[in-house]
Structure 1
């Protein structure tokens, strides 16, 4: 455990931020997995609906600074590409 006052505060702030960020990141991952499972089931119609929801969650995570802009863009691009190939 940290002894210095600033280090103690830093630990506390990190825990607080983790508590706020974890549910957002978990929800984002859940939505991504939902899209991937629908793609593996060849369910194009529901995959498109789930994709829009996943993109919203990814954008929200980017906006809150939980994931990097490029990482989110890459995830959105790959999911969209897979859904488009499924419906083509």
Structure 2
């Protein structure tokens, strides 16, 4: 258990930050799931709209420190490739 006031404050800050990051990560996963469901349904227009909504949310995760830049770029790239293939088919 932390004894110094600064260590106690650090614990409080970490708990708050963990809760915020958890909410952000959950929000990003929800957007990703919506894109996945749209792709699975076979609706190209719906998938495109879902990807357009998800992309800024994923990149916001990068600026907030929830995701690494390369991870976010990889996810967006793979999803966009799948949506593009769906639209072409």
* TM-score computed with the length of structure 1 as normaliser: 0.89
Q: Counterpart of 1:82?
A: 82
Separation (CA, whole Å) in 1 of partners of 2:77 and 2:22: 23
Q: Counterpart of 1:19?
A: 19
Separation (CA, whole Å) in 1 of partners of 2:45 and 2:65: 31
Separation (CA, whole Å) in 1 of partners of 2:35 and 2:61: 17
Q: How many residues are paired up?
A: 88
> Where do 1:1-88 residues align within 5 Å?
1-88=1-88
RMSD: 1.3
- Residue 6 of structure 1 deviates from its aligned partner by 3.9
Separation (CA, whole Å) in 2 of partners of 1:28 and 1:8: 31
Runs of 4+ in structure 1 off by over 4 angstroms are: none
Instruction: Name stretches of at least 5 consecutive residues in structure 1 with no aligned partner.
Output: none
Instruction: Name stretches of at least 5 consecutive residues in structure 2 with no aligned partner.
Output: none
What are the superposed Cα offsets for residues 1-42 of structure 1, whole Å, 9 maximum, x if unpaired?
333444333221111111222222111110000100111111
* TM-score computed with the length of structure 2 as normaliser: 0.88
